Amino acid sequence: MEVYLDNAATTRVCPEAADIAYKVMTECYGNPSSTHTKGREAKTYLDTARSQIAAALGCSASEVYFTSCGSESDVWAITKGAESMSRRGKHIISSAVEHDAVRKTLEDLGARGFEVTYLAPEKDGAISVESVKNALREDTILVTLMMVNNETGGITDIAGIAKMLKAEGSKALLHTDAVQGFMKVPFSAKKLGADMISISGHKIHAPKGIGALYIKTGVKIKPLIRGGAQESGMRAGTEAMPQIAAFGKAAEIAFAGMQDNCEKMARLRALAADRLCADIPEALIIGGGAPHILSVSLPGWRSEVLMNFLEAESIYVSRSSACKKGGRSHVLEAMHLPAQVIDGAIRISFSRYSTEDDVLALCSALKRAHDTLAHR
């Protein structure tokens, strides 16, 4: 039996999304910018997908712009958001636990004269409203913080931060990387209060290669990719219609079943945490909050050794972010965890397709690994 518990890295494409992607690739393959019948047919799929994403996000379709991935959405929002506000100041607030797409973009902006304050996380990996408030300055122009930490599952109160910024009279733009939050924790873009929200398709059972950026009506930023007039002139390049149609369908399905799916994942997470702590006295649960992510450490055992043991039994988890190769997790280091805890940490992440049998197989295998593998 294959047990896939690395859904924070990517998810399998749901049948409905795969079916519509294949149909668009093989039958409705026109360019949505073309004015002939095949083009208009493709445009219908484009409009439908945009409306499906907007419904799931809780916003207007005109506020949704398709991109190639969550990383592109992050780079666009942060780079062009900072540039659009640079006359007011050059101070940006972020955190020490962001995804590398955010961290490296901020490094680039730092090299261009912007100043970035990196906030320390709470014990769950989230960022507190108070820490953002304390870092706020007159020249702060952008706050960019992830909604759900991709390694610990810690949930940052983006709505609370938005309310605080308004109460403080700050003109700073608020961007959130919601790649791990979209369809995993309930939120509505209109109620959230963020100016820009990044999301990704392959985290919600759509194909890879598609993402979107929500830009609130009235927020003025320039395109990251210039050229044609696609996406209302905001993102050049012929739209990837198979991926877009699949993203829309996946979002529609995920939105319809979100409450049940989140409750199911939360139950599986609790079962795994309880079972591991009961079977392995040394097991340490790190962070928490989101229903689909469980970070657990076996201090004294190395995560790569544990992963190899699990993989030999066709059980798949990860060390930390799948986008990060080698080295210790910057997220866990920012939480000031001991080296042995960081080195023994693995991330278990669930989807609506995960089962209780998957969890029991994982826990049983980790118990065997604990009992048989050498440790320090």
Q: Write out the catalytic residue numbers.
A: 323
Say how many Å lie between the first and final Cα of the chain, rounded.
Answer: 31
Q: Are 151 and 347 in contact (CB under 8 A)?
A: yes
Q: How many CA atoms lie within 13 A of 250 on its CB side?
A: 30
Give the rounded distance of the alpha carbon of 138 from its chain centre.
30
Q: Are 185 and 157 in contact (CB under 8 A)?
A: no
CA–CA dist 348, 151 (Å, integer): 9
Contact residues for 9 (Cβ-Cβ < 8 A; gap 6+): 318, 321, 322, 349
- Matching residue, tokens 């300055």: 137
Map residue 57 onto helix, strand or coil: helix
CA–CA dist 177, 197 (Å, integer): 6
**Which residue from 336, 257, 368, 353 is spatially nearest to 10, judged by alpha carbons?**
353
Instruction: Tell me whether residue 42 is exposed, middle or buried, using C-beta atoms within 10 angstroms of its C-beta: 0 to 12, 13 to 18, 19 or more.
Output: buried
